[in-house]
Amino acid sequence: MKKLLLALLIALFVFSLAACTPAAKTQEQPKRVVYLINGALGDNAFYDSGKAGIDNIAKQYGVETRTIECNFDAGKYEPSLRAAVDYADVIFVISYGFEDQLKEFADQYPDKIFVNIDTVVENSKKTITSVDFIEEESAYLAGVVAGLATLDTSIPNVNPDKVVGVVGGDVDPVVSAFVFAYENGAKSVDPEIQVLKKSLGGAWDDSARGKQAALQLYDQKADVVFQVAAAAGIGVLQAARERQLYAIGVDTNQNDLEPGYVIASDIKNVGKSIEDVYKTIHEGTYKPGQVLKYGIAQGGVDIALEAKVQVLPQSIVDKVLAIRQQIVDGTLKIEMYNNQDVWQ
């Protein structure tokens, strides 16, 4: 009896100690987030989409946010990374042109969360998470739109020639993937369709050069020109209006920027990917070093056909949406870009 009583007293003592022991410290929530971009805001496309996502997480989670724009100035890349790690707990970065510096900083600061947007960057400590958009899926659909449009002479000012075009901001792998899939989509409609191409050689923010390139393509009989050129691509849309022909926008829904002349937009939902990743950070389920694939089924890319001034006949819209569904269902597999030379 005494032994039983002693055991009960010991158990009670241990329980009381446990009750008085502080709970294990939980992981602190991030307080500051940086959006670090190699380019600049104001493109109505890629960079602005990401900024919308940053603004949404600031509202939803109450974190402080800061955007650092490098304006395509290589001299700003390393100082901007330094400023980002000095300020933030979480850094969403578009690192075109400074991938090596990003790897070095990520290795030096393993306690920081680095999320690289639109390309895959892997550091030696494998702490960088990359968001990799399957842009081939949406660009293929943009090519289908262009191909169907150039064959339909009932659309005002479409000529009998089977010609479409594309203006790229540079010849980097991401733009080349767009161009590759766009050409495949157009030729899936009719193998005889000619796809003319112009690169701006890195002049992402030069809308005058974008417009000039598009005008040259329209003068070569292109009915539709796809812009993959960030802020410079706004000039492509302006050229479509000037020539009374057609363009396809990129990254955000640009169909109403030049009403009646932008017949579709290839969506890359940068903002959604940022919100998705940050949610995992907030919930404690984030895993560093992942490569997150965002295609149509994941809501990362898409084709936008709705517009205030609808140019495309419903028959074309229906065909494009049917092909889109095949991609979502997995019955249509889109060929991925693999460093092919697409600029010839």
For residue 10, pLDDT beyond 90: no
19 against 124, higher pLDDT: 124
pLDDT given at position 41: 96
For residue 8, pLDDT beyond 50: no
Burial class of residue 134 (count of CB atoms within 10 Å of its CB; 0-12, 13-18, 19+): buried
pLDDT band at residue 28 under the 50/70/90 scheme? confident
pLDDT for 55-88, tens place per residue?
A: 999 999 999 999 999 999 999 999 999 999 999 9
For residue 253, pLDDT beyond 60: yes
pLDDT given at position 205: 92
Neighbouring CB atoms inside 10 A of 16's CB total 10
Instruction: Kindly report the pTM of this predicted structure.
Output: 0.88
The answer for residues whose C-beta is within 8 angstroms of residue 209's C-beta and 6 or more apart is 200, 203, 232, 235
Provide, rounded to the nearest whole percent, the portion of the chain with pLDDT above 70. Answer: 92
For residue 5, pLDDT beyond 60: no
Cα torsion through 328, 334, 337, 340, rounded to 10: -170
Q: Residues 232-255: what's their mean pLDDT?
A: 97
For residue 44, pLDDT beyond 50: yes
pLDDT for 163-188, tens place per residue?
A: 999 999 999 999 999 999 999 999 99
pLDDT for 276-304, tens place per residue?
A: 999 999 999 999 999 999 999 999 999 99
For residue 23, pLDDT beyond 90: no
pLDDT given at position 12: 43
- Mean residue pLDDT of the chain comes to 92
The answer for residues whose C-beta is within 8 angstroms of residue 205's C-beta and 6 or more apart is 39, 40, 43, 71, 72, 230, 231, 232
Helix (H, G, I), strand (E, B) or coil at 282: helix
For residue 207, pLDDT beyond 70: yes
For residue 31, pLDDT beyond 80: yes
pLDDT given at position 16: 43
Provide, rounded to the nearest whole percent, the portion of the chain with pLDDT above 90. Answer: 91
pLDDT given at position 145: 98
Backbone dihedral angles phi then psi of residue 163, each to the nearest 5 degrees: -135, 130
For residue 52, pLDDT beyond 90: yes
pLDDT for 145-164, tens place per residue?
A: 999 999 999 999 999 999 99
Token pair for residue 291? 């490569």
